[in-house]
Structure 1
Amino acid sequence: TFSRKAHSWLSDKLTDCLFNMSQNVPSALGSNQVKVQVKACALSPLDLKLHEDLKLQRDLVPVGREIVGIVLQVGPKVTFFQPDDEVVGKCYSDFCVRSPVQKPEKLRWVEVAGAIRDGLRAYTALHTLARMVSGHTLLVLDGASPFGVLSIQLAHYHGVKVLASALSSEDQKFLEQLRPSVGVRESLVARVIGVWDTKVDLVDSCLEETGGLGVDIVIDSGVRLHEEEPEARCLLPYKHDIITLLGVGGHWVTTEQNLQLDPPDSRSLFLKAASLSFLNEEVWGASSARQGRYLHIMKDIVEKLSTGTLRPQLEDPVPLYDATVSMEMVQKKQVRKRLVIQL
């Protein structure tokens, strides 16, 4: 929840960032730098608390960070790109795009920009943290979210059995009809668990589907830390339920920054030899030692987009004059699909 002052800052910051994209780009390039004309950028929620913890100045927090564009100019030591190349990247400051990669020509600007963040999160959760392999069983909580859909598509591609929870009857219908764009037209989700229905029990459904063994990987979209929480969080799973449905040697990947485990919960994880990881895709910008793996992930994302393996859930493109209102909606979590500004 943000105050009126915070929303005013957010609006001003978005306007400044978009203006900087087209007007205030530094004229002199460094030896290893590339100047890019932005064609589309995705709007993703800002974690202002994270930037405060890292003691970053608010003036350096970029908005609309997942970008796609055309190379205008390259530095003298740049060998991988030439002017007029189409590239994909993610900004970590007002002007810095970390290690862009080539965009296949047939992909639309909006489609690529809308898949960068959720694709990066899906790869981080499933490959880097959970060590996903063929034959695993995965539970994706809130599977109809943009992040959930790409996680389902990526897991199914690698031969993982996918279970997903639905927060509404509309989400359930959408997930049940989710099919791959290529290959056998089987459902991507082996079972959709409609947690919106009070008669449906998440734990019982997962244990029934796995013969009582539990799932190998769980990716949550938030967790209830207490039995009684605000109505907006009532459909989130209770932390004890996730531990209960997790199998021996399982991996729980959480997006809950303030997760607190009681000693009995820790004991249950210990008895199952299970692991708990925190999903923070911003970690790729924290160390140059991970640049090679980050580049591999980005290249694989655009490759799977070009083959239709990954298909992001997008709203209609947003024109520049509607960007501020759209960003406020994203920050307040009032949209279900990914929003992209088309420049």
Structure 2
Amino acid sequence: MKVLYCQQNSAGEEITCVFQERENLPVTRDNDVKIQVKACALSWTDIKLLSEMKMKKEFLPVGREIAGVVLEVGSKVSFFQPDDEVVGILPLDSEEPGLCEVALVHEHYLVHKPEKVPWVEAAGTIRDGLRAYTALHYLSHVSPGKTVLVMDGASPFGTIAIQLAQHRGAKVISTAYSLEDKQYLERLRPPVGMRQPLIARVIDVSNGKTDVAESCLEETGGLGVDIVLDAGVRLYSKEDESTLKPQLLPHKHDIITLLSVGGHWVTTEKNLQLDPPDSHCLFLKGATVSFLNDEVWNLSNMQQGKYLYILYWLASKITINLLVRGENYEKITSIYSNLTKLLSICYILTT
């Protein structure tokens, strides 16, 4: 059986992928579940995080989000039986790559997959669903009546976050980085029978001239946005970034400006630096900044019950609604995913 690993011999060196032949799996331990992998999403491997956590190895397993059928269970496994359909995320320190035919996984990293959910959708949505749920429920406590700004709403994570926020009764504003993304977001609709769009306003920033802060303040009557989920931010002014790759990301000061009193800014920027004036502005508003690190669930086993609940909740909600993108696009059995977006994630099906 072939399995896929990535290799980086030295810092700054390009990562290469290598196939390794494996004849037999390790012996199934008491709490292990042997899975026939049906679909695996190829998410990015955070080499830097692995180094910081002293988990970096010469060969790193590829593919952590998997969906498949249980073949065998250990003697102490209580949640699963052979022939169960499951989905989950392999732990950060896993020796097993998800990109294989058969994998051994501890039962505490898996949940049951609803029968009607396709394999690809299950594996392709589970990580972005976890990130969106963590950002909106645990970091910003979304609730009915809140206004949520989702940056780059047409991305896989953005699409899920938009629908999750709307599902909780929040008003959603989103940014689009191209005309195609803008048209896609404007066509998103809630469950059948409701005609209003999912998003109250789509802000097209593709021309680089639109002021996101001004648009959000205008939409909220000057009150500001309660929750902001960014997709990265500019830390410096355009003059200081003249040698860097041009980006359409908002400046950190713009996000602070558009926050409401008591607002929450959830950022994916791990190297965020706030100047004293920015901190003072946050202080005056009583606003908070939270860092979205979806690996925190696997880095702390004290929250294992909550983590499994999130995975199970996401898997059970995938069948709630059908989304349509454009006239000739496929219908998707998920309020938290869109197949045309999932296709941007590489995946493999095994027989």
Q: TM-score band, normalised by the shorter chain?
A: 0.7 to 0.9
Normalised to the residue count of structure 1, the TM-score between the two structures is 0.87
Tell me by how many angstroms 1:310 deviates: 2.4
Q: Contact between 1:314 and 1:339, CA under 8 Å: does it hold in 2?
A: no
Find out whether 1:248 has 2:261 as its counterpart: yes
Counterpart of 2:329?
none
Find out whether 1:313 has 2:338 as its counterpart: yes
SS in 2 for 1:307: coil
Find out whether 1:338 has 2:345 as its counterpart: yes
RMSD between aligned residues: 2.2
Whole-Å separation in 2 of the counterparts to 1:4 and 1:200: 44
Of residues 87-96 and 118-127 in structure 1, the stretch that sits farther from structure 2 once superposed is 87-96
Find out whether 1:25 has 2:32 as its counterpart: no
SS in 1 for 2:17: helix
Counterpart of 1:220?
230
Q: How many residues align?
A: 317
Which amino acid in the other structure matches residue 215 of structure 1? V
Name the structure where strand makes up a greater proportion of residues: 2
Q: Contact between 1:221 and 1:255, CA under 8 Å: does it hold in 2?
A: yes
Structure 2 matches for 1:261-276, cutoff 5 A? 261-276=274-289
Tell me by how many angstroms 1:60 deviates: 6.3
Tell me by how many angstroms 1:198 deviates: 3.5
Q: Contact between 2:213 and 2:255, CA under 8 Å: does it hold in 1?
A: yes
Structure 1: stretches of 5+ with no match in the other structure: 319-336
Which amino acid in the other structure matches residue 337 of structure 2? P
Q: Contact between 1:206 and 1:215, CA under 8 Å: does it hold in 2?
A: yes
Q: Contact between 2:8 and 2:58, CA under 8 Å: does it hold in 1?
A: no
Of residues 122-131 and 299-308 in structure 1, the stretch that sits farther from structure 2 once superposed is 299-308
Q: Contact between 2:148 and 2:226, CA under 8 Å: does it hold in 1?
A: yes
Which amino acid in the other structure matches residue 287 of structure 2? A
Counterpart of 2:189?
179
Find out whether 1:99 has 2:109 as its counterpart: yes
Whole-Å separation in 2 of the counterparts to 1:78 and 1:38: 19
Which of 136, 158, 168 aligns to 2:178? It is 168
Which of 292, 295, 298 aligns to 1:285? It is 298
Higher relative contact order (CA 8 A, sep 6+): 1
Which amino acid in the other structure matches residue 94 of structure 1? E
1:89-147 CA distance string (max 9 Å, x none): 11121334552000111111001110011000000100010111111000000111000
Whole-Å separation in 1 of the counterparts to 2:61 and 2:195: 40
Tell me by how many angstroms 1:307 deviates: 1.6
Tell me by how many angstroms 1:231 deviates: 5.9
Structure 2: stretches of 5+ with no match in the other structure: 1-6, 97-104, 322-333
1:298-334 CA distance string (max 9 Å, x none): 011011102235242345998xxxxxxxxxxxxxxxx
- The change in CA–CA distance for 1:10 and 1:200 in structure 2 (over 3 A counts) is same
Which amino acid in the other structure matches residue 25 of structure 1? L
Counterpart of 1:193?
203
Whole-Å separation in 2 of the counterparts to 1:7 and 1:65: 23
- The change in CA–CA distance for 1:183 and 1:52 in structure 2 (over 3 A counts) is farther
Normalised to the residue count of structure 2, the TM-score between the two structures is 0.85
Q: Contact between 1:243 and 1:268, CA under 8 Å: does it hold in 2?
A: yes
1:168-190 CA distance string (max 9 Å, x none): 11111111111124451321111
1:261-318 CA distance string (max 9 Å, x none): 0000000001101010000000010111111100110011011102235242345998
SS in 2 for 1:81: coil
Counterpart of 1:36?
35
SS in 2 for 1:80: coil
Which amino acid in the other structure matches residue 81 of structure 2? Q
